Amino acid sequence: MGVRLCVLVSGSGTILEALIEQHVHVALVGADRPCRGLDVAARAGVETLLLDRADYGGFSADFDRARYSKDLATALRERGVDLVAMAGFGTVVTAAFHDAFPGRVLNTHPSLLPDFKGWHAVAQALASGVDETGCTVHVATVELDDGPILAQRRVAVRADDSEASLHERIKGVERVLYPMVVTRVMAALDEGRSVASVAREMENV
């Protein structure tokens, strides 16, 4: 049957679109709020799952992150998911989720990690005055924007860049790199190889 991939989204689903356009077989798309990403999945004929944060305290201080993370992991396991790719997923999940998919949660981040972790990586890159930044595909862990790096691509920072213009160029690179890495991870798992082996492959791409 092959590796069953779940892509987690929260917004416009442009990275999900790139995965689908590059013929990555997506078995399930999950979201933490109603969003365009679910519509992208539905149009592509991909099963969807909405586990709405609103039912767990929303975006208030009362948000039950632990229960949400556990329920999300359970829902994905019940649907036979083997690999998770976060694609603009806006909820930080707890160790319970990562424990359910050990070493099998992927993420793409708009910086050259370990530089500029967090939600404002592009703005931080501009404020720091660096002449290049980029994107990183890595194995996600309970620590935000941490974990083994699978691939990175560099993006030059231009003198006239705004946060929006720089972020858009980074997204353009992500839309190529992320599908490539996810495809290779799925192939590695199908062949009984480790996710870490993909990092070695990507060094020569």
Active site residues: 109
Close Cβ partners of 56 (under 8 Å, ≥ 6 residues apart): 63, 64, 65, 67, 68, 71
Q: What pairing do the DSSP bridges indicate for beta strands 132-139 and 149-156?
A: antiparallel
Q: Which two tokens stand for residue 41?
A: 């999945």
- According to DSSP, residue 56 is labeled G
Distance from C-alpha of 142 to C-alpha of 91, rounded to nearest angstrom:
12
Cβ(103)–Cβ(185) below 8 Å? no
Q: Which two tokens stand for residue 26?
A: 């997506």
Cross-sheet strand order for the sheet of 28-31: 47-50, 28-31, 5-9, 83-86, 105-109, 132-139, 149-156
